Amino acid sequence: MSSVSKGDRKASLDAASWLFNVVTSVGIILVNKALMATYGFSFATTLTGLHFATTTLLTFILKSLGYIQTSHLPFSDIIKFVLFANFSIVGMNVSLMWNSVGFYQIAKLSMIPVSCFLEVVLDNVRYSRDTKLSIVLVLLGVAVCTVTDVSVNTKGFVAAVIAVWSTALQQYYVHFLQRKYSIGSFNLLGHTAPAQAASLLLVGPFLDYFLTGKRVDAYDYGFTSTLFIILSCTIAVGTNLSQFICIGRFTAVTFQVLGHMKTILVLILGFIFFGKEGLNLHVVLGMIVAIAGMIWYGNASSKPGGKERRSFSLPKTQDYSAVPVSSEPDTKE
């Protein structure tokens, strides 16, 4: 009976974690779309720096109130994580500028096979045939939904490669650090967010000027646009935390595969709130194929042998976890 209760509790926590991530991720995409399209705030890198500054402030307050326990993370690991994360953010912004939207979407889709490669090489994970096929089905469905015109140049291709690998490494490292040091999501954010905020706020204005030709300090900060910036920063705290929780409870590959559910939701909500332009039969079919692939992946990876780590273990230090991270085998997806 206790094992059944434990399984039910774990399933409930997994579902709640994923719902938290979906709601905050879709919410911040819609808010940022309104902020940039309607109010002309096109300073994406600086805005991300503000997101991490807000996250840093919240973790500092919670730590001072005793809600987050003191934990240790080596400085070298923090530096590596911040480098991966910042190259991911900058690479994605530059890739979107230098490539077509279609190639940008292809680059995002390629993060799944790259994440699979990292898990196979670094964690000795093995996937069943059904799990591999379900991933292919998800990629196919999302590609049909999102990939239209495809054009690329040399510098755009280099930016996309940097963005894809740095993003995959950053997400892998989230799971790795939580397992290795037994620290929770808020603890990890408390260690990494200050460095990310400082570096992005330092580099962001210059990079945004390079990408847009506009200065962030010259922007006309009206009352409504400022409210949207504050709202974006507030939601971003939940987005950052939920990403760390989900990758900690699952893996980077599962986070990427199921993460495309957010792509489908954003498309649907975009058609509802911003007009039905671009909605056609092949987009609807792509959505259906992608959702079917996600359901198949969930079933295939949860079966014995669907996705398993072989002869691999990580050294763990004292448990300072503020948010529970599952230590069960990777059949949990």
- How far is residue 2 from each of residues 7, 9, 15, 324, measured CA to CA in Å? 9, 10, 20, 18
pTM of the predicted model over 0.75: yes
Tokens, residue 233: 């920063």
Residue 274's pLDDT is: 61
The pLDDT, as a whole number, for residue 333 is 35
CA distance 29 to 136: 26
Give the distance, in angstroms, between the CA of residue 239 and the centroid of all CA atoms in the same chain.
8
Residue ranges in the chain modelled with pLDDT below 70: 1-4, 6-7, 148-150, 270, 273-279, 308-333
Strand partners, 125: 309
State the pLDDT at residue 327: 35
Please, are residues 120 and 308 in contact by the beta-carbon 8 Å criterion?
Answer: no
What token pair was written down for 54?
């807000």
* Residue range 68-104, pLDDT digits in tens: 788 889 999 999 999 999 999 888 888 877 877 778 7
pLDDT in tens, 166-192: 999 999 999 899 888 888 888 898 999
Per-residue DSSP letter, 213: S
Exposed/middle/buried for 180, CB within 10 Å: 0-12, 13-18, 19+? middle
Query: What pLDDT score was predicted for residue 49?
Result: 95
Supply the pLDDT for residue 1: 47
Distance CA 109, CA 103 (A): 10
pLDDT of residue 330: 41
Structure confidence at residue 173 (pLDDT):
92
Q: What DSSP line would sit under 4-65, residue for residue?
A: HHHHHHHHHHHHHHHHHHHHHHHHHHHHHHHHHHHH----HHHHHHHHHHHHHHHHHHHHHT
